[in-house]
Amino acid sequence: MRAKWLLLWLAATTFYAAPRDPFQPPPESRCEPPAALTGWRLQGVLGRAPRLRAWLTSPQGGVVKIAAADRLPLPGWRLSAMTPRSLTLTAGSGCAPQFVTLSLKGSAYVQDDPFTADESLARARPGH
C-alpha cells in the first residue's frame, strides 16, 4: 500500500515539473553583475605591510579611505589584496568571479608635472 502511494506521489510531482526544451537556450541565471568600476582610481597607499591604507577617488570626485578590514562603498566588490602600489578587488557574487587591479602610475619617486597639458603643448610647438 505504501509503495502505491509513493509511486502515485512521484508520478504527480513529475507531471507538475515541465521538461526543459533542449532546443531553447537555458533560462537566464540569477547572476547579478557587480557595480561597474568605471571612473574609480587609486590615489595613493600609505603605511607598511600589515597596516596599509588606500585612498580611492570616485567618478564624482569624492575621496574614500579604506583599510584591509573595511567594507568597500562599491556594492558586490571586496578587497582581496593590497600592496604599496596596487589594490585587487574581487566580485564573487556573479557566476564567474571577476578581478580588477587598480595601480598607481609611475615609479615611487616620480612627481607630477608642474605644467598643464596646454602649457606643455605650447612649449612643444616652436614659434608659438
Domain that residue 73 falls in: 41-124
**Does a structural domain hold residue 76?**
yes
**Does a structural domain hold residue 73?**
yes
Q: Each residue's pLDDT tens digit in the chain (128 positions)?
A: 778 887 777 776 666 666 777 787 766 666 666 777 888 899 999 998 889 999 999 889 899 999 988 888 888 888 999 999 999 998 876 667 788 899 988 766 666 555 444 444 444 445 54
pLDDT of residue 121: 41
**Does a structural domain hold residue 5?**
no
**Does a structural domain hold residue 26?**
no
- Tally of domains in the chain: 1
Sheet containing strand 41-46, edge to edge, reads 41-46, 53-57, 63-67
pLDDT of residue 66: 92
pTM exceeds 0.85, yes or no: no
Among the listed residues 82, 91, 87, the one whose alpha carbon sits nearest the alpha carbon of residue 31: 91
**Does a structural domain hold residue 96?**
yes
> How many other C-beta atoms can be found within 10 angstroms of the C-beta atom of residue 4?
8
Q: Is the CB of residue 104 less than 8 Å from the CB of residue 110?
A: no
